[in-house]
Every structure is written in structure tokens, then in C-alpha cells.
A and B are shown apart, each in its own frame.
Chain A
Amino acid sequence: MRNFAAVLLFSLVTIGFFTWFSNFGIPQVDPAPPPKEEKLDLGAMTMEQFTALGERVYKGKGTCTLCHSALGGRAPLLQEAGAISKERLADERYKGEAEDMAGYLYESMVKPSAFVVEGFGKAGSSDTVSPMPDVSGGSVGLSDAEMKSVVAYLQKLGGYEITVEIPKDAVPETEEEATSRAPFKTAEAAIAEFACGACHKVAGEEGEVGPDLRKIGRLRDRSYLRRSILDPNAEISKGFEKDQMPADYGEQMYAKELEMIVEYLAALK
């Protein structure tokens, strides 16, 4: 027993030392809280504000400066990006479709490999593949408006006329939902509230714009239905048009509600 107590004490003292060191032996850095997902109000923006937004995106959310900085040397510097874009567009190695400076800058964000500056390609690709991710997706996830604002910022940085336009209609004017809205109790209530029936035939409503949902459970499985709500343009049923259904139901609905609606639709047979 005495041995046991001694060993126990020894182990606890050891753990205590590690704990002490982690708490007091090193400085406690409080990591920044997760970035907020910003909603843009583009309607009332001047070009200056739009460019300033671009700068914020460039230095913040876009994480561009991680690589595009003098310090790292991992990616080309962008101060002169505007000037060089003409040469780039004329270069025979250029694989993109852009025709002007703004188009080139925008394209380089979504298709970084369209032109890879010498020496900055992925190792082993002899400068054909860029190590830069498509910033419209992945963990950066910039919206169209945000990328255009970065283009505006880059044009200003080089001292050029800003040719990119502020997208007016990119963000649908939805009423800001109060964040503490109580979730709807039933699928019917949710469907009524989200006005699905305005376009679809569902729950007694007779919308004409979208597909008939009255027997949708026979045709589609749950994963398809879920995707159709989150990303309506992923696949368009025959005879219907793209871009008709709002793409932000994923943000508006609680996950519970989404599941309820999917469940409800899947059961329609």
C-alpha cells in the first residue's frame, strides 16, 4: 500500500508539473474567436466602400496575405497585378478565357491554374498547376461579390481605374431573420412559412414555377431532396429553369427543420 501511495503521489506530482507549466510556464495566447459570416449590403455601397471591403476581404477572410506577401515569398506579389495582366493575357502559356484586367483578376481567383507565374507552380508540375485553392470554395469560401470587391481593391492598389462593377443583385434581399427564432414544430408549418407552395405543388398549395412535389418521395431519395433544398441548382429537373429557387434556404432553416421537411417529402408517395 505504501508503494501504491508513493507511486500515485509521484504520478500526480508529474501531472501537476505539466499542468502548471502549460498554465504558467508559457504565455497564454487567447486565440481569436471564429470569424463571423458577414452579410453584405451591396445596395447602398459606394465604390470607395466597395474597395475598402475588398481590402478587408484581402487581408482578412480571404487569407490572401498568408501567401501573397513579401515575407513568405510563396506567391507573386499583387501590387502590380493590374499592369501585368495585359502581358499575361497575351502570354502563350495563358489558358483562361478572360479578356480584360478585371476579368483576368477575377479568373485568377476561381481558376488559379489558368496562368501560373514562373517559379510559383506546385512542386513537380513545372508551373502548370497553381498551389492556390479556388477561393470561391473550400475553407475560404468567398462570395461572388467579395471576389469582385477584391478585384476592385487590386485595381486601386495598382493605381488603375476601377472597372469592376458592384454586383447589385447578387445577394437576394431577404429579411434578416431574428437569430433567436423558435424552430417550427412540424414540417407543414415550416413548408407554409418558407412558402414552398408559392412555386411547388405541395401541402395543398398549387405553385406552378417548380416541380410537383406531391409524390416526390417515389422518385427521389432523402439525400437528393436534401441537396435540392441546400443547393437547388445542383440538378434541374426536365422542363424547369435554373436559378429560380432561392439558394439560401440552408442558412434560413435550422438543420432540424431541414430534416423535418426532407422526411415529410420523402414520405409523399
Chain B
Amino acid sequence: MARLLGGLLLVVLAVTLLPGDWPAVDSGLTQSAFAQGAAKTETATAGIAAPKLTPDDYPRIAGVNGRIVVWLVAQLHLWFAAFVLAVPIFVFIIEAIGMSTRDKRYDDMAYEFIKISIAAYSLTAILGGFLVFSLIIFYPHVIQYLGAIFKDTMFYYALLFFLESAALYLYYYGWQWLQGGFRKWVHLTLGLVLNAAGTMLMFLANGWLTFMMSPAGIDPGGIFTGDVWTALHNHLWNPINIHRMVANVAYGGSIVGAYAAFKFLAATRAEERAHYDWMGYTANFIAISALLPLPFAGYYLAAEIYAYSQQMGITLMGGIFAWLFIIQAVLIGTLFLSANYYLWCGMARSEGAARYNRYIKYLAFVIVAAFLVWFTPHTLVLTNEELKALGGPYHKYLGPLGIMPAKNTAVNVMILFTALSFLIYRRANRIAMVGWAKAGNAVQVALFSAGIANIFFLGIYHGYFTNTVYKVASSIPQVITTLVVIAASIVIDAMMYRGAKEVAPLRWGRVPERAQYALFLLAVAFTWLMGLMGYIRSGIRQHWHVVGVFRDNSPDAFTPTLGYAANVVSVGTIIFMAMVIFVFWLSQVSAVKTTPAGFWKEQAS
């Protein structure tokens, strides 16, 4: 509680302490009525000019590298923010499920999710305040410029922050109090308010950073003349909003999954194991559900970056950052493999699953093969020997796998097969009793086969035998195919297995410990991946604070190598992990009671 208040204070302090001379803030306050009248007619269009800085305008303090400090703090703030924004989303959904099914276990699990993340909210706020401070210290003119443009939103930001905190407190502390009937409805509404406030907070902050990437309301001379809404509603705002929303949910799921996994490993009693197994499964389910549409949100974002500026798009995909996408491929491959592995291991929970065990190797084969295609770079790293053996720097057979159509095809196949893993897991313990089960199965098989055939056709035909225009365009029908196949097969499955017979009781807790490590892998890889993609999102601005408007002339304006960036991300991940462990530890320390013998005076009664 005190921690949260402390964090809050910090943020408010930071917001109000921002350089007092924001141009327009005091324009209305200090001018006489006469001057104001004059100002209205003459200075109504006075815009905000970006300062032209020199390296000496960036304070150097005690030899600390300002960029790395801001980078790390921003990233830590972002990790925590993503986590605390995501948790209420699925807590709300789980609570609603519990409410409609009247299954108390859902309600308890939702409560536990919010309980373990409660300390993370104050950490998010503290880190946010810290971020503002480090920006003021190391980049005073940048924050001043942005502050001048976004001053209105900062006020709403503070307001929303209060609203979110209030809703959070009521939601969390009132959980046991607001139970049953009308009270439960009130509680659920609180959850909705909490989520709405949190999401709006994120949208506001997204507006600030997308303005730096794709500024809007700038006249040809580089002067900002728009209003706050123009600045906020810039070209990349919505693509980033969508991408972050989906990614946050997947990320939050993976972190909670790691918590459940650890509790599972530490559990001593069977009920405890069962409980945390179920919790881990749910968290993994949430993570995968959000992970499947995530690549598409990413494509949308990348396409919009291209649409905003070809130059930025080429820097992103073809230029110096091209190899980053090979690292990204390794990480996303890791995510998919570990999520699948967890599902397969989970089949041990039921006796009926053994029927499906022999299919797993084919799933694994396809997913790994698709992953290898995705991972194959366009430009190969060759030793001189290999160069000679190949007769040139170009590989005849692997070369074609390096370009986009092959990768699009691979990732769609990977997503489809992950969905298939999940379908098989769902069926593992059940036998469909409806009369048309055979036909339903056939339809599903046909659906998947047709979908995969279509994805391959689109990828190979349009990717390699038509010109560039179709190459790019073919990725959209591929995505639609994937989504349609997944949605349709889930619907068919749901109808087919209505009233299905269970083969054997599902035994929560009967899952190998290895599966828990898959959950850890998911969480760690996700954290690291977010750090990496955060770097590129910010890095494609290159030597600009605000692209094309406000040049970065600091000594740190250079674009670092990927290795350098990866090292910073790794350090950040380790700090974040330490903090998350602290948050989880806090959540259980309140339940621990120590009774010291002979410490307190005996009271005669």
C-alpha cells in the first residue's frame, strides 16, 4: 500500500516537476488581458519548434551513460507495465467465466492471479517515475519538447492513473467482500473500469512514443502546429496499440505461468500440485491464444511502418536490422516449441491421451521443419572454404528459403500445427458421442489439408512465380486462411464434443516437471524477445529523437551493433527477473507467520 502510494507520488511529482517553462503552460497565466487579446489574433498559430541541439546540450553526469540508463529503465517499466496491464484483462475474463459457470475454482484462481501481481503495480509506477526522472536528467530538451506538445495528455494520464489505482484497490481488497448476486456484478464492473483505465493509460503513452516515430501535425518547416489529438493520433498509434494489447496478454500469461510452474515444483501436497498445474495450464492457454494472432499484428505494424515511410521500412527489414529478425526467429521458434512441448507433456494428465501419442512426432517434425525454414537467413555466413564449395556466395536450394514468401508460409504452418496440438490435447481424454463424429472429423481433416495446401500454393506460386506486388499481397490471404481454419475447426470441435464421454478422469497435477521448465522457457524467451523488439522499435528512428523533426545530436546517437543491444537486453532481463522474484516472494510473505517464543510479554488473562 505504502509502496504504491510512494510510486504514485513519484509519478505525480515527476509530472508536475517537469520543467516549469513549458511554453504554453504559462502563456495564459502570466499575460495581461490586453496581451492575451493580442496573442489570440497574432500568435494563435505559433507552433512548437524543435530545438537544434549540440552534443554539449546533453548533460553528462558522473560518467554514466545516459542512453543505457534510459534504455534499461524504460524497458523495465515496459515489462512491468505489460504484465500489470495484462493480468487484469484475463483476471476479468476468468472471473466472468467463474460467475457464469458458478465454479468457485475460477474465482479463486482469478483472485490468486491478481494477488501475486499486486506488488508489481507499485513497481511499475516507481519505474515510470524513475523513467521520467532519468529523461529529465539526461535528455532535458527532449522531454521539454515532448512535454510542450503533450502537456494536456499528461494531465489525463495522471487522472487516469488515480482512477486505475482506485479501481485496483477496490477490486483487489474488495474481492471477498463483494461476493454473490448484485455485489458480484459491482465487482465485475470494477474490473471493467480497471481494465478500461489501464488500457487508456497505455494508449496515451503509446501516443507519445509513436509521435517520435511518425510525427503528425508538423508543417513542412518542421514546426509542430497541430493540436494534441493530431499528435496523439499519428500514423503508427493504432498499429502499436493493437500489437501491444495482444502481446501484453501473451506476456502476462507467460509470466503467471512461470509463477505457477515454480509453485508446482515447490509444492509438497497433491492438492497443491493439482491446483498449480491447473493454474499453469490456464496461464499457458492464455499465452498461446494471444501468441497465435501476434505475428499478424506484427505484420500489420510492419506494413504500416512501410506505408508511413519507405525509408524506415527498408531500414527495418532490409538494412542494418535485417539480422535482428534472425534472432527474433530463434526466439519465436523457442516460444512455439516450448508452448507445444507443454501441451504434449500435459497429455499425461489423462489415460485417454495415449491414443494420440504416436501423432506427436509428426507434429514435432512439421513444426521444427517450418521453424528451420523460418530461420534460414537470406544472406549466408560463409567461410572461404564454403564459398569455394558453393561456387559463389549464393546457395541454390537454401537461398529461395531466405525470402519473405517462404517465411510467411512457414510461420502460418507453424501456427496451424500449434492449433492442431491444442485440438489434440482437448480431444485427448474424450470421445465424441454425436452421430456425425466421423463426418466431423473428416471435415476437419479436409479443412486443415485444404488450408495448408492453400498456404503453400499462395506462398510458392505467388512468392516465386509472379512479380513483387503479388509476393507481398499473398501474405494476407495466407493469414486469412490460417485464421479461418483455426476458427472453423474450433467451432466444429466444440459442437462435436458437446456431451462427450470422458475416457478417464483428468488428473491435474500428474504432469512431468520438465513441462514446468517449458513454462519458464516461455517466460524468459518472451521477456527477452520483448526487450529485443523494444530496441528495434525505438532503434529504427536512428539518429532522430522525433523522426525528421528533432535530430539527436548526442554522442550516443549512433546505432549500436546487435550484439551490444542484446547484451543490454540480457542485463535488463536479469534485473527484471530479480524484481519479479521479489514481487512473487512478497505475495506469499504476508501469509507467513512467525511466533517467536518468549519474545512478547505473557499477558495474564
Answer yes or no: A and B touching, Cβ < 8 Å.
yes
- Contact in complex: B567, A19 (CB < 8 Å): yes
CB neighbors of B among A149-176 (8 A) = none
The interface bits of chain A over 1-12 (1 if a CB of B lies within 8 angstroms of the residue's CB, else 0) are 001101100111
In whole angstroms, what is the CA distance A198 to B222 when docked? Answer: 28
Residues of B within 8 A of A256 (CB): 57
In whole angstroms, what is the CA distance A223 to B25 when docked? Answer: 10
- Contact in complex: B570, A139 (CB < 8 Å): no
Residues of A within 8 A of B32 (CB): 218
- Is residue B543 contacting chain A, with contact meaning CB distance below 8 A? yes
Interface segment, one of A26-34, A77-85, A91-99, A201-209 = A26-34
In whole angstroms, what is the CA distance A141 to B221 when docked? Answer: 9
Residues of A within 8 A of B266 (CB): 3-4
- Is residue B458 contacting chain A, with contact meaning CB distance below 8 A? no
B326 nearest in chain A by CB position: A26
- Contact in complex: A250, B52 (CB < 8 Å): yes
Knowing A11-B577, A28-B563, A218-B31, say if A234 contacts B221 (CB, 8 Å): yes
- Shortest Cβ gap from B332 to chain A (Å): 12
- Contact in complex: A226, B49 (CB < 8 Å): yes
The interface bits of chain B over 560-574 (1 if a CB of A lies within 8 angstroms of the residue's CB, else 0) are 111101110010011
Indicate which residue in B43, B222, B265, B574 contacts A12 across the interface (CB closer than 8 Å). Answer: B574
In whole angstroms, what is the CA distance A118 to B38 when docked? Answer: 49
- Is residue B23 contacting chain A, with contact meaning CB distance below 8 A? yes
In whole angstroms, what is the CA distance A67 to B314 when docked? Answer: 11
Residues of A within 8 A of B602 (CB): none
In whole angstroms, what is the CA distance A74 to B306 when docked? Answer: 13
CB neighbors of A among B541-571 (8 A) = 542-544, 547-549, 552, 557-563, 565-567, 570
Number of interface residues of B (CB under 8 A): 75
Report 22 cross-chain contacts, Cβ distance below 8 Å, ordered by A residue.
A3-B265, A12-B574, A15-B528, A18-B525, A19-B566, A25-B330, A29-B320, A31-B320, A33-B558, A66-B310, A73-B468, A138-B222, A139-B548, A220-B39, A223-B24, A224-B39, A227-B49, A235-B45, A235-B46, A250-B49, A254-B54, A255-B54
- Contact in complex: B26, A250 (CB < 8 Å): no
- Contact in complex: A29, B524 (CB < 8 Å): no
- Is residue B385 contacting chain A, with contact meaning CB distance below 8 A? no
Indicate which residue in A139, A220, A231, A251 contacts B221 across the interface (CB closer than 8 Å). Answer: A231
* 8 residue pairs, one from A and one from B, having the closest CB atoms: A223-B23, A22-B566, A139-B548, A34-B543, A221-B27, A23-B563, A31-B559, A137-B220
- Contact in complex: B563, A222 (CB < 8 Å): no
- Contact in complex: A18, B21 (CB < 8 Å): no
Residues of A within 8 A of B56 (CB): 183, 254
In whole angstroms, what is the CA distance A7 to B263 when docked? Answer: 11
- Shortest Cβ gap from A96 to chain B (Å): 16
